[in-house]
């Protein structure tokens, strides 16, 4: 299962209260639409840290970084370890 699919499943189950996996457009503003609130952002952060083994620093915990699926995937991409050159 891809990171995108894992995030969609989590969002659907945690915030949409639907056990079925929903198709969530990557650009849908989850914060602006009220699907995810400030407490929800913290839940997403905790889930991402535990599931993907990343450490999200407090300065990364901005609503804009978690407002959409696209933004969340961007955070994960930035936090992935870079190969040594």
Q: Is residue 8 part of a domain?
A: no
Confidence at residue 5, expressed as pLDDT on a 0 to 100 scale: 92
**pLDDT digits 0-9 by tens, 73-83:** 999 999 876 55
Give domain status of residue 43, yes or no.
Answer: yes
Q: Could you list the residue range(s) of the whole structural domain that residue 34 is in?
A: 26-79
Residue 14 domain flag: no
Count of domains forming the chain: 1
Average pLDDT score over residue span 50-59: 93
Residue 67 token pair: 């407002």
Residue 1 lies in a domain: no
Q: Give a yes or no: residue 6 inside a domain.
A: no
Give domain status of residue 17, yes or no: no
Contact at 8 Å (CB) between 28 and 68?
yes
Residues 22/8, Cβ–Cβ less than 8 Å: yes
Task: Tell whether the torsion through CA atoms of 29, 30, 35 and 39 is positive or negative.
Answer: negative
Query: What Å distances lie between residue 40 and 45, 80, 83, CA to CA?
Result: 9, 23, 32
Q: What's the whole-model pTM score?
A: 0.85
Residue 56 resides in a domain: yes
pLDDT, position 16: 86
Q: Is residue 51 in some structural domain?
A: yes
């Amino acid at each position: 299962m891809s990171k995108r699919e894992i995030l969609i499943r989590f969002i659907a189950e945690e915030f949409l209260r639907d056990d079925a996996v929903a198709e969530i457009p990557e650009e849908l503003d989850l914060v602006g639409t009220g699907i995810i609130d400030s407490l929800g952002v913290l839940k997403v952060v905790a889930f991402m840290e535990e599931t993907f083994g990343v450490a999200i620093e407090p300065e990364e915990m901005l609503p804009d970084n978690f407002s959409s699926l696209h933004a969340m995937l961007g955070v994960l991409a930035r936090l992935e370890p870079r190969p040594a050159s």
